[in-house]
Structure 1
Amino acid sequence: MAWPAPRFTDNGDGTVIDHLTDLIWLRNAGCIPEGSWDAALQAANGLHSGECGLADNSAPGDWRLPNVSELESLIDLGLNRPALAAGHPFLNLDPSVYWTSTTHAHYTANAWGVDLLDGTVIGDVKVVNHRFLAVKDGQ
């Protein structure tokens, strides 16, 4: 599938729409410090307008961690350092592992993460600290 042009639009309210998936992403990728998987789930779910540069009238519960497929959709395997589309709109992006909401099917103490440095999908123990990108469904 060809990527749309433009792939992303900065909504000017702290959010970015992905025209490939119609998902809305938090623009400031470094707003909340890294944490365990549980901490990332709670922090994403608690995001609301007035935090992290958000002016989108969102309320707690609107935001969530992306599943592994959603986070992988941001990856351009032809690129690295970071492995995101050229001209991506994210601020304060750390090219490291970011949590997804997807628990490992056979090792439930682990969850999947995506390394934005090179696009690798990794399983890691949920108590390890990683960053996260929050997402919400598009309107």
Structure 2
Amino acid sequence: MFLGTHHPKLDDKGRLTLPAKFRDALAGGLMVTKGQDHCLYVFPRDEFEQMARKVAEAPFTNEAVRAYQRYLFAGTDEQRPDGQGRIAIAPELRRYAGLNKECVVVGAMTRLEIWQADRWQSYLEENEEGYAQAREEVLPGVF
């Protein structure tokens, strides 16, 4: 389970040090892909494979499905953290997410999200009120 917010820096070689508390869960390999909202998603390999099977089962006769499948699978990079817990973020993925030195890694239960720090702050500011209002729609009867 991935939770919390962390603030690692991207080094000059495009490497990001993963938060120490997540390294064991990702030591067997991970998949970095383009996420929604111009962030990157980081999945443990087995979690990505489960999700990818569901995406692959969608009817490829649907144009939107084909486009989504192409974008997702073509934009995915397999990584294995080095001894210091670093992963190399491919240039195209860095471009897509607008990553430079200041990053935010957000735990999102089954995945991590990597955001450019200022984009993450803007996202929080734009969506804070929506979060406060959405609890009954998302989780009726839980709170």
- Same fold? TM cut 0.5: no
Which of 1 and 2 has greater Rg?
2
More helix by share: 2
TM-score (norm. length: structure 1): 0.26
